[in-house]
Amino acid sequence: MSESSPESPPDALRAFRLDGRVAIVTGASSGLGEGIARGLASAGARVAVVARRRDRLGKLAEQIGGLAVGADLGDADQVAGVVPAVAEGLGPPTILVNAAGALLSPDKAEDESLDGIRRTLDLNLVAPFRLAQDVFPHMRDAGGGAIVHISSISGRVGIPGIPQASYAASKLGLSGLTSELAVQWARHRVRVNTVAPGFFRSEITEDLFENERSRAWLSRNTPLPIDGTPADYVGAVLWLTSEAGRYVTGQTIVIDGGWTAR
Ligand SMILES: NC(=O)c1ccc[n+]([C@@H]2O[C@H](COP(=O)([O-])OP(=O)(O)OC[C@H]3O[C@@H](n4cnc5c(N)ncnc54)[C@H](OP(=O)(O)O)[C@@H]3O)[C@@H](O)[C@H]2O)c1
């Protein structure tokens, strides 16, 4: 084994570096997307951060030396503007992380409106697909790239007490999209994977973690006796977007403390 020092990391660690890469992270104004944007930047990538809240994006972009791109990803025209803006501002992107998402229609399945179902699919499934289409030519021309969708354990299993049928359908749809794009684009060395988180503290789960009863329910249903932290999903995204994950494509990686293993 070769010697290593902090100045010269072993090859295994160097494979996680993203120096010189341009990355797009959607949903970066809070929660998982923000953690992922910070993680990719710390590994050397120049990161374009995308969401609706431009003030937050501006601050984050300043801190990580990236680019803020304000866009409502529920709007097809605004989705179409994202990749050209990044290519012009930072250069051709070779990493795309689709983390923007929301549970827009938290009604019982039998009561979900057509509008709620469509808005959920547009944001959680159609926008990631369209962004993947838009980055593909840049990745092909660069000789490769990595796309990671952030889905959910919802869809893989039902979650009792929190109705989310269209959300679940949109999230499991990302896994189907992942396998198909991975196979179609493998010959261009464009890899496509999905990370499916369990419950992590963020704006959408804040109430669950704050309320004593739901907190106990989360603990009861999570075999590992610890809370997940940003490091737990950032590590997976770094692996999948860097050379460390160069032989991995078409997969859905579940990070849930064992929730779905029961
Ligand atoms: N936290 C969890 O336990 C958990 C579990 C499983 C899956 N997930 C998934 O992880 C991803 C991030 O969620 P989070 O927990 O970090 O929640 P969050 O803190 O609410 O973050 C959601 C992000 O999506 C962005 N977003 C929402 N609607 C958008 C729109 N129309 N256009 C553009 N951006 C939009 C939000 O930014 P703006 O409001 O500024 O637009 C925000 O940056 C989501 O896809 C979620 O489904 C989270």
**Residue 67 counted as domain residue:** yes
Q: Quick one: pLDDT at residue 10?
A: 72
Q: Looking at the domain assignment, is residue 144 inside a domain? A: yes
**Residue 97, domain member (yes or no):** yes
| Span between the terminal Cα atoms of the chain, in Å | 39
Closest CA to 255 of 247, 208, 231, 243: 231
- Ligand 1 near 197 CB (within 6 A): yes
For residue 6, what pLDDT is reported? 58
Domain that holds residue 45: 18-200+229-252
- Examine the pLDDT at 107 and tell me if it is beyond 90: yes
Active site positions, annotated? 167
182 found inside a domain:
yes
Partner residues linked to 196 by β-bridges: 254
| pLDDT of res. 3 | 47
pTM over 0.75: yes
DSSP 261: G
Asked whether residue 85 is assigned to any structural domain, the reply reads: yes
Identify the residue whose C-alpha is closest to ligand 1 atom 1.
200
Alpha carbons 95 and 171: distance in angstroms, whole number: 20
Which residue stretches of 43-189 are H helix? 54-64, 76-89, 114-121, 127-142, 165-185
**How many angstroms separate the alpha carbon of residue 12 from the centre of ligand 1?**
31
Q: Do residues 74 and 123 make contact, with C-beta atoms less than 8 angstroms apart?
A: yes
Counting beta carbons within 10 angstroms of the beta carbon of residue 130, is it exposed (0 to 12), middle (13 to 18) or buried (19 or more)? Answer: middle
* Mean pLDDT score, 205-234: 95
Q: Is residue 60 part of a domain?
A: yes
- In-domain check, residue 28: yes
Where does the pLDDT of residue 11 fall: very low under 50, low under 70, confident under 90, or very high at 90 and above?
confident
Instruction: Work out which ligand 1 atom sits closest to the CA atom of 204.
Output: 20
* Residue 195: inside a domain: yes
5: confidence class by pLDDT, cuts 50, 70, 90: low
Overall average pLDDT of the 160-187 stretch: 97
Question: What is the tally of structural domains in the chain?
Answer: 1
Confidence of residue 179 (pLDDT cuts 50, 70, 90): very high
Type of residue found at 83: V
Q: Is the confidence at residue 198, as pLDDT, over 70?
A: yes
Distance, CA of 58 to CA of 259 (rounded, Å):
36
Among 160, 151, 238, smallest CA distance to 198 is for 151
Q: Is the CB of 202 under 6 A from ligand 1?
A: yes
pLDDT over threshold 70, residue 175? yes
CATH of the domain at 47: 3.40.50.720
